[in-house]
Amino acid sequence: MSSISIATVNVNGIRAAVRRGMPAWLEQRNPDVLALQEVRADDATLTGLLEESLGGGWHVAHVEPTDAGSKGRAGVAVATRLPVGEQRTTIAERFDGTGRWVELDVETPASPSGVVTVVSVYIHSGEAGTPKQDDKMAFLDAVRARMTALHATAAAGGPQAVVCGDLNIAHTERDIKNWKGNLKKAGFLPEERAYLDAWAAQGWVDVARHLAGPVDGPYSWWSWRGQAFDRDTGWRIDAHWVTPGLAERVTACQVDRAATYAERFSDHAPVVATFTDDDGDRQIP
C-alpha cells in the first residue's frame, strides 16, 4: 500500500513566503502534489524555489494573471514530480487572464482510474453589493459548470478529481469563528454558501470536514492584524473537494498551522490531504 499527499496553500506572494520561511516547510512536508494560489511570480521563480527546496524533476502547471485587475496579485499553480498528462487553464472566456484556475492530470495509483485531475483555484474575495461581488458570482457559476463536468467524467470511470485552493467562502458556521458578525459580508453570504451546498449535493466531498466532523474549524486563514492568529479567530476557506472515488481513499487531512505568529509564511496555513491506493473499508456517507 502506498499513499500520496496533496497540499494546498495560498502563499500570498511566493517571494514574500520564501523570505518568511516557506522553504523550511516545503522541505519538512515534501508533498507529492502542491497546489498554490496567489503565486505572484513567473515560472522561473516558482520552479527555482521548488528545486532549491526539494531538488529537480518538477512538472509545473502555472497560470500567471495578465489582465489589469489581477496582474500582480493572483496566479495559481499545480506542481508535482509524479508523471503527468494534460494541463488545462480555461474555465470560461471571461476569466482568461485572471490567473484563477489551472488543472493538471497526475498519474497516481491513489485514483481508481490511475489518474487524478488536480485543480488549483483562487476564488475572488468579493465585496457585497459591488461589481467585485458580481465577478465572484459569475466565476462561481463557471466553477460549478466545470465541476459538474469533472464529476461526470469521474462517474463514467475517468480520472477522479480534487478541486483545492482558496475558496474565499466559509461554508457553515463551523467554518468561521465570528460568523454572526459576517452574515452580510462577502465570504459568508448565503448565496455564496449555496454553491458549496450544491457541490456537496452533487457528490463532492469536503475532505477536511468529512474527517474532522462537526467541530469548529480547523481554520486555515487568520488576519495579519490584531490577535486573530493567537486567539484562533479564523476562517476555514482553504479546502480539498474530491469526487466520491477519491474520497473513499482519503486517510488524513491536516492544517499545518505555524507554531507562532512570527513563524507564519502566509496569512493562510497549508492544508495537506493524504490518499492511499488501498480502498480499504472507508465509506463516505
Residue 281 in domain: no
pLDDT digits (tens, 9 = 90+) for 58-88: 999 999 988 766 767 899 999 999 999 999 9
Residue 182 marked as a ligand binder: no
For residue 194, what pLDDT band results from cuts at 50, 70 and 90? very high
Looking at residue 174, its pLDDT comes to 97
- One of 62, 171, 240, 268 is an active-site residue; which one? 268
| 151 counts as catalytic | no
Active site residue 62: no
Q: Which domain holds residue 182?
A: 3-276
Residue 168 labelled as part of a binding site: yes
Q: Is residue 283 in a domain? A: no
Closest CA to 101 of 135, 132, 79, 75: 75
**Is 267 one of the annotated binding-site residues?**
yes
Whether pLDDT at 11 is above 70: yes
Share of the chain above pLDDT 70, in %: 96
Give domain status of residue 282, yes or no: no
pLDDT at 280 over 70: no
38 annotated binding-site participant: yes
> Has residue 211 been placed in a domain?
yes
Q: Of 32, 105, 166, 238, which is the active-site residue?
A: 166
Q: Is 110 exposed, middle or buried (0-12, 13-18, 19+ CB in 10 A)?
A: buried
CATH number at residue 53: 3.60.10.10
Residue 161 lies in a domain: yes
Confidence class for position 2, pLDDT limits 50, 70, 90: confident
User: How many structural domains comprise the chain?
Assistant: 1
Mean pLDDT of the chain: 94
- Looking at residue 26, its pLDDT comes to 94
268 is catalytic: yes
20-54 pLDDT tens trace:
999 999 999 999 999 999 999 999 999 998 899 88
- Segment 126-135, tens digit of pLDDT: 999 999 999 9
Q: Does 96 appear as a known binding residue?
A: no
256 within some domain? yes
Residues 62, 105, 122, 124: which is the catalytic one?
122
Residue 65 covered by a domain: yes
pLDDT given for residue 281 in this prediction: 44
Residue 282's pLDDT is 45
Long-range contacts (CB closer than 8 Å, 24 or more residues apart) made by 141-150: 142/91, 142/92, 142/94, 142/95, 143/91, 143/101, 143/195, 144/195, 144/198, 144/199, 145/92, 146/91, 146/101, 147/199, 147/202, 147/204, 147/241, 148/202, 150/117, 150/119, 150/243
Kindly state the greatest CA–CA separation across the chain. Answer: 51
Contact 151, 161 (CB under 8 A): yes
196 within some domain: yes
